[in-house]
C-alpha cells in the first residue's frame, strides 16, 4: 500500500465529522490493506507507532520539525518559522513550502506504508548522544521523498497532532465493515481490544483468521483496558440495583495494573503506561510473591506511618516521577490495596464472577505489608453500606465501590458491575472528570498570570464526540494558574479538536490531553454548552471549580454525556441532596 493513498484518505477525513461516513471511508481503505499492513495502518491512524504500554514515543518537538522542513524545502529556518506563525500548523507549512520548494532532492522514490512506518519507528527508538540529529535527518529523508500532501501528515504525525477526529470505536467499526460489510464483528473486535490494548495486533490477527479474535486470552505484559464504574447517589439505590453485593473502600490514589511472570515485573498506570521504574518498592514486593504468574489491580496511596493516615492525592502523585525516585520512596512510602485478580498461573480469570475473584484476592495477599487486600465487606442492606461509607469517609478515603457478586471483569467497559459512591454524593456538591479543550487569558487581577480559566468537555460515547460542559475559572492557586498555563501552551492548536462540538470560543484551543476533576453545585441547562444538547440546550455545570489535575486519567476515561444526564435526573430524585 502506497503512503500517498493513506494521505489522500487522511485528507478526506479532515473534512468529515459524521461517524458513519468516516467508517465507510476507512473501511474502503482497510479493504485494500494486506494482513502485514493493517496493524501499521491502524497505528498511524491512532497517531502512535506502538501500543502505549511499550513506551515508544516519537519525541520530536516543533524546533526539530522546523529544521527538517527547512532542510527538505530548501528554505531558511527563519522563513519556515515565519510561515508557521501565520498558518498556526506546521503540517500546513510543510505542505505549502514543499509545494514551492526551493530545491529538489536528486533521488526520490514513492514511499509505501511499510517504509513510512519503519521510518517513524526508527525516529521513535533513537536515543542517546546524537539522537536528536538522527531524528531530524531521518524526518528530512522522509520529507524529501514526500509529496506536499504526504508532508502535511508526516509532520503532524511526528508532532502528535494528526487530529483526524477518528476514535477507536470508529476504527473497530471500519475493520468489521471492511471484512463483513457490516458491524457484525464489532463486539468481538472490541472485546479482543479491551483485553490486550493493542488494536494493531487485534486487526492483524483478524485479517489472518477472523476466528482468532474469539480466542484472545489475557496474558502477562499485554495490559487490559481498565474496567470502569457507574455511579449512584444513595446506598438504597445501589442495593436496589445489585441486591447483595461486595463493597470495597474507594482509595483516592493511582490505579496500578501489576503483571508478573517469573522474575519479570511490569506496573502499568490506568493510561497503560509502563510505570515500573518509578515504583521499585512495589516491584520488589511483587517479585517476592508465591505466584509465578499473576495480573492484579490495586490502588496505590502514599501512607504517613507516623500519623497513620493517607497522604492526599496530590502528595501521592509525587511518587510518579522520573527522577529522585529513592528520595520520593522515603518521603511518600506506598501502600497498594489489591482489589482484583485477573490472571493467575496461566488462568484467565476475567470471565469468573467477582465473588470468585475476590476470594482469590483474600487468598493471595496478606493483611499486612506493602501490598494488602482492599477493605471489603459483603452487604445486603442500605444501612450496612452506609456504615462502610462512613468508615471510609472517617479514614480520609474517597468513598466506596459496590460490586455485583456475579459479574465478570468488564475490561474497558462502564457498567453497573461496579458502582461508586463518593463523599461528595448526598451533598450540595458533586464532581466530574473532564478534558480541557481550550483556555482563556486572564483579565483584571489575573492579567499578570495570562490565564483566566479553561473550557472543559465530557465524552459522548454514542457519537464519539467531545461536548462542552463548563468554563472553569476558579479553584486555582496563583502557582497552579502559572503551571497550568505553561502546560497547556505546549499543546496549543490553531483549531479546536476535530471531534469537539462547541458553541463558545476560547482564546486558545488545545489538544484534548489533560483531564481535571471539577466540582460543581448542580447541573443546569444552557444554550452555551453542547453536552447532551436537546432543543437547543445542553447540560452545564453551575459554579464549577477545579479540584485537581488527574494525571492518571486519559481523555477516554472522562465522564460521559450519559453520566451527566443521569446526574441531572438524580438531582430531582429523593436522596441526591
| 426 — pLDDT class (breaks 50, 70, 90) | very low
Contact 142, 122 (CB under 8 A): no
415 plus 553 within the same structural domain:
no
pLDDT band at 428 (very low <50, low <70, confident <90, very high): very low
Per-residue pLDDT at 342: 98
Question: What is the model's pLDDT at position 323?
Answer: 62
> What total number of domains does the chain contain?
3
Same domain, 399 and 450: no
The C-alpha cell of 93 is what?
A: 507549512
86 in catalytic set: no
Reported residue count of the chain is 577
On the question of pLDDT at 429 being above 80, the answer is no
**Comparing C-alpha atoms, which of 157, 152, 149, 143 is closest to residue 59?**
157
Q: What's the CATH code of the domain at 245? A: 3.30.470.30
Q: Among the three residues 127, 158, 189, which one is the final residue of a domain in this structure?
A: 158
Q: Is residue 58 part of a domain?
A: yes
Query: What confidence tier does 577 reach under pLDDT thresholds 50, 70, 90?
Result: very low
Tell me which of 86-90, 202-206, 353-357, 551-555 is least confident: 551-555
Domain of residue 448, CATH code: 2.40.50.140
Cell of 74: 530548501
575 vs 343, residue with greater confidence: 343
Identify the H or E element spanning 563: helix 561-571
Higher pLDDT, 226 or 428: 226
CATH, residue 133:
1.10.3260.10
Tell me: do 374 and 238 sit in the same domain. yes
Tell me: the pLDDT tens digits for 5-51? 999 999 999 888 778 899 999 999 999 999 999 999 999 999 999 99
203 located within any domain: no
**Is the residue at 166 inside a domain?**
no
- For residue 574, what pLDDT band results from cuts at 50, 70 and 90? very low
Contacts for 205 with CB less than 8 Å, ≥ 6 apart: 192, 212, 213, 216
Percentage, residues of the chain above pLDDT 70? 92
The domain in which residue 460 lies consists of 430-571
Helices within 251-306 (DSSP H only)? 280-287
Name the pTM for this structure: 0.83
Asked if 451 contacts 441 with a C-beta cutoff of 8 angstroms, the reply is: yes
Q: Which of the residues 188, 250, 261, 271 is marked catalytic? A: 250
Beta bridge partners of 373: 338
Q: Are residues 71 and 90 in the same domain?
A: yes
Q: Are residues 232 and 365 in the same domain?
A: yes
The mean-pLDDT minimum among 377-381, 406-410, 499-503 falls in 499-503
What pLDDT does 573 receive?
61
Shared-domain flag, residues 58 and 95: yes
Q: How far apart are alpha carbons 538 and 461 in whole angstroms?
A: 16
Q: Is residue 107 over pLDDT 70?
A: no
pLDDT tens for residues 299-323?
998 877 677 677 767 677 767 666 6
Whether the pLDDT of residue 540 is over 80: the answer is: yes
CB 529 within 8 A of CB 503: yes
Residues 107-124 have a mean pLDDT of 90
Q: Does residue 447 register a pLDDT over 60?
A: no
Helices of type H across 436-552 = 478-489
116 and 251, same domain (yes or no): no
- Measure CA 354 to chain center: 25
Tell which wins on pLDDT, 338 or 318. 338
Query: Cell numbers 483516592 label which residue?
Result: 252
pLDDT in tens, 194-245: 999 999 999 999 999 999 999 899 999 999 999 999 888 789 999 999 999 9
Q: Of 422, 443, 472, which one is at a domain's C-terminal end?
A: 422
Q: Which residue has the higher pLDDT, 543 or 394?
A: 543
- pLDDT-derived band of residue 576, with 50, 70 and 90 as boundaries? very low
Place of cell 497505528: 43
Same domain, 404 and 495: no
Query: What per-residue confidence (pLDDT) applies to 395?
Result: 78
pLDDT, average across residues 531-549: 92
Rounded Cα distance between 432 and 440, Å, is: 21
Residue 195 lies in a domain: no
Range among 1-10, 316-325, 390-399, 408-417 rated most confident: 1-10
Same domain, 388 and 451: no
**Spatial distance between the Cα atoms of 371 and 285, rounded to a whole number of angstroms:** 7
Same domain, 273 and 339: yes
Residue 464 covered by a domain: yes
* pLDDT-above-90 percentage for the chain: 63
> Is the pLDDT reported for residue 109 higher than 90?
no
Asked if the structure places residue 170 within a domain, the reply is no
Q: 457-498 pLDDT, tens per residue?
A: 999 987 878 999 999 988 877 788 888 888 898 888 877 887
**Are 402 and 337 contained in the same domain?**
yes
The model's confidence at residue 345, banded by pLDDT at 50, 70 and 90, is very high
- H or E element, residue 568: helix 561-571
Q: What is the pLDDT of residue 194?
A: 95
Which stretch of 57-66, 356-365, 370-379 has the lowest confidence by average pLDDT? 57-66
- Tell whether 62 is covered by a domain: yes
For residues 119-139, average pLDDT: 92
Question: Is there a single domain that holds both residue 153 and residue 250?
Answer: no
CB-side neighbour CA atoms (13 Å) of 22: 25
> 372, 388, 422 — which closes off a domain?
422
Write the pLDDT tens digit of every residue in 49-85: 999 899 898 878 889 999 999 999 999 999 999 999 8
* pLDDT the model gives residue 387: 92
Q: Tell me, yes or no, whether 561 lies in a domain.
A: yes
Q: What is the mean pLDDT of residues 287-306?
A: 90
Please compute the mean of the pLDDT values over residues 122-151 and round it to a whole number. 93
Tell me the C-alpha distance between 236 and 245, whole Å.
Answer: 12
Nearest to 450 by CA among 489, 424, 421, 420: 489
The residue that leads in pLDDT, 338 or 489, is 338
Q: How does the average pLDDT of the chain come out, rounded?
A: 89
Amino acid at each position: 500500500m502506497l503512503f500517498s493513498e493513506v494521505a489522500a484518505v487522511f485528507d478526506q477525513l479532515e473534512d468529515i465529522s459524521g461517524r458513519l461516513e468516516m467508517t465507510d471511508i476507512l473501511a474502503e481503505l482497510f479493504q485494500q490493506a494486506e494482513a502485514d499492513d493493517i496493524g501499521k495502518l491502524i497505528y498511524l491512524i491512532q497517531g502512535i507507532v506502538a501500543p502505549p504500554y511499550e513506551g515508544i514515543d516519537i519525541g520530536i518537538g516543533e524546533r526539530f520539525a522546523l529544521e527538517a522542513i527547512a532542510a527538505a524545502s530548501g528554505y531558511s529556518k527563519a522563513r519556515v518559522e515565519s510561515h508557521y506563525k501565520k498558518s498556526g500548523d506546521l503540517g500546513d507549512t510543510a505542505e505549502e513550502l514543499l509545494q514551492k520548494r526551493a530545491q529538489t532532492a536528486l533521488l526520490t522514490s514513492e514511499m509505501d506504508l511499510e517504509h513510512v512506518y519503519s521510518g517513524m519507528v526508527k525516529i521513535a527508538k533513537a536515543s542517546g548522544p546524537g539522537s536528536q540529529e538522527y531524528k531530524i535527518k531521518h524526518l528530512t529523508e522522509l520529507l524529501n521523498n514526500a509529496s506536499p500532501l504526504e508532508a502535511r501528515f508526516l509532520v503532524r504525525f511526528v508532532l502528535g497532532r494528526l487530529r483526524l477526529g477518528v476514535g477507536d470505536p470508529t476504527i473497530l467499526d471500519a475493520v468489521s465493515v471492511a471484512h463483513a460489510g457490516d458491524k457484525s464483528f464489532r463486539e468481538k473486535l472490541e472485546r479482543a481490544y479491551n483485553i490486550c490494548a493493542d488494536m494493531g495486533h487485534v486487526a492483524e490477527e483478524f485479517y489472518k483468521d477472523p476466528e482468532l479474535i474469539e480466542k484472545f486470552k489475557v496474558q502477562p505484559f499485554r495490559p487490559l483496558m481498565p474496567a470502569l464504574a457507574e455511579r449512584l447517589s444513595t446506598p438504597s439505590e445501589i442495593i436496589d440495583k445489585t441486591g447483595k453485593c461486595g463493597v470495597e473502600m474507594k482509595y483516592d490514589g493511582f490505579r496500578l495494573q501489576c503483571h508478573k511472570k517469573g522474575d519479570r515485573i511490569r506496573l502499568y498506570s490506568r493510561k497503560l503506561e509502563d510505570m515500573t521504574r518509578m515504583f521499585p518498592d512495589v516491584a520488589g514486593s511483587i517479585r517476592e510473591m508465591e505466584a509465578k504468574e499473576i495480573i492484579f489491580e490495586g490502588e496505590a496511596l502514599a501512607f504517613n506511618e507516623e500519623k497513620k493516615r493517607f497522604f492526599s492525592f496530590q502528595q501521592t502523585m509525587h511518587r510518579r516521577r522520573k527522577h529522585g525516585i529513592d528520595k520520593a520512596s522515603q518521603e511518600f512510602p506506598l501502600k497498594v490495596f489489591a482489589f482484583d485478580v485477573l490472571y493467575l498461573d496461566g488462568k484467565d480469570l476475567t470471565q469468573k464472577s467477582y465473588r470468585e475473584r475476590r476470594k482469590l484476592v483474600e487468598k493471595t495477599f496478606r493483611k499486612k505489608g506493602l501490598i494488602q487486600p482492599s477493605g471489603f465487606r459483603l452487604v445486603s442492606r442500605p444501612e450496612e453500606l452506609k456504615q462502610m461509607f462512613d468508615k471510609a469517609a472517617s479514614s480520609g478515603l474517597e468513598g466506596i465501590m459496590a460490586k455485583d457478586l456475579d459479574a465478570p471483569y468488564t475490561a474497558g467497559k462502564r457498567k453497573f458491575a461496579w458502582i461508586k459512591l463518593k463523599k461528595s454524593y448526598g451533598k450540595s456538591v458533586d464532581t466530574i472528570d473532564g478534558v480541557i479543550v481550550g483556555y482563556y487569558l486572564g483579565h483584571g487581577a489575573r492579567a499578570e498570570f495570562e490565564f483566566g480559566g479553561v473550557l472543559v468537555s465530557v465524552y459522548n460515547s454514542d457519537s464519539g464526540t467531545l461536548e462542552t460542559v463548563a468554563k472553569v475559572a476558579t479553584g486555582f492557586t496563583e502557582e497552579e494558574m502559572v503551571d497550568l498555563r505553561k502546560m497547556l501552551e505546549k499543546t496549543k492548536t490553531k483549531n479546536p479538536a476535530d471531534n469537539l462540538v462547541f458553541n463558545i470560543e476560547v482564546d486558545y484551543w488545545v489538544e484534548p490531553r489533560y483531564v481535571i476533576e471539577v466540582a460543581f453545585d448542580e447541573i443546569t441547562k444552557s444554550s452555551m454548552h453542547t453536552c447532551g444538547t436537546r432543543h437547543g440546550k445542553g447540560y452545564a455545570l453551575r459554579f464549577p471549580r477545579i479540584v485537581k489535575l488527574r494525571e492518571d486519567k486519559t481523555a477516554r476515561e472522562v465522564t460521559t454525556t450519559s453520566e451527566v444526564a443521569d446526574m441531572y435526573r438524580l438531582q430531582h430524585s429523593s436522596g441526591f441532596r
